[in-house]
Amino acid sequence: MIPELDRKCSECGGSGASRDPEWADWSSRYEATRRLWKDRGYTDETAREQALAVAGPTPEGPEEIPCGVCDGRQRVPTEDGDRLLEFFHRHLWEPFVERIEQRLRAIEGTLDRAEDAAIRETTRDRF
């Protein structure tokens, strides 16, 4: 029986998105000002106009950004999931990276030898 390896992200409730902090600040200023004017008996339209004047221009960029905890994946690993990820990292990812680095070193060595041969070829007549 495989244990639960991940669970719904509690930070974003599983949506994968969170509100951009600049948008959250802007909305707070807007809503607080709108409510203040509304509570003083002004019309909805006046309250909205005043709120926009106080809150200023809306922030650039989207209102929603990827959740900072699950990075938009909607789920996060459990402790068992983390242990499995460590296992894959150690036995799959690290050997893969080592092999890539070996290949790169071998290619660099080939290039060095080819470069040496080319230099020797062009300078042979001078000595």
Q: Which residues bind Zn ion (CB under 5 A)?
A: 9, 11-12, 67, 69-70
Query: What is d(CA 37, CA 42) in angstroms, rounded to the nearest whole number?
Result: 6
Q: Which is nearer to Zn ion, 18 or 33 (CB)?
A: 18
Q: Which is nearer to Zn ion, 12 or 47 (CB)?
A: 12
- Look at strands 6-8 and 75-77 and give their pairing: antiparallel
b/e for 89-127, b at 16 or more Cβ within 10 A?
eeeeeeeeeeeeeeeeeeeeeeeeeeeeeeeeeeeeeee
Q: How far is the CB of 62 from Zn ion (least distance, A)?
A: 16
Q: How far is the CB of 65 from Zn ion (least distance, A)?
A: 11
Q: How far is the CB of 7 from Zn ion (least distance, A)?
A: 11
Q: Mapping DSSP to helix (H, G, I), strand (E, B) and coil, where does residue 13 land?
A: coil
Q: Which is nearer to Zn ion, 17 or 36 (CB)?
A: 17
Q: How far is the CB of 72 from Zn ion (least distance, A)?
A: 7
Q: Which is nearer to Zn ion, 10 or 110 (CB)?
A: 10
**Are 77 and 6 in contact, with CB atoms under 8 Å apart?**
yes
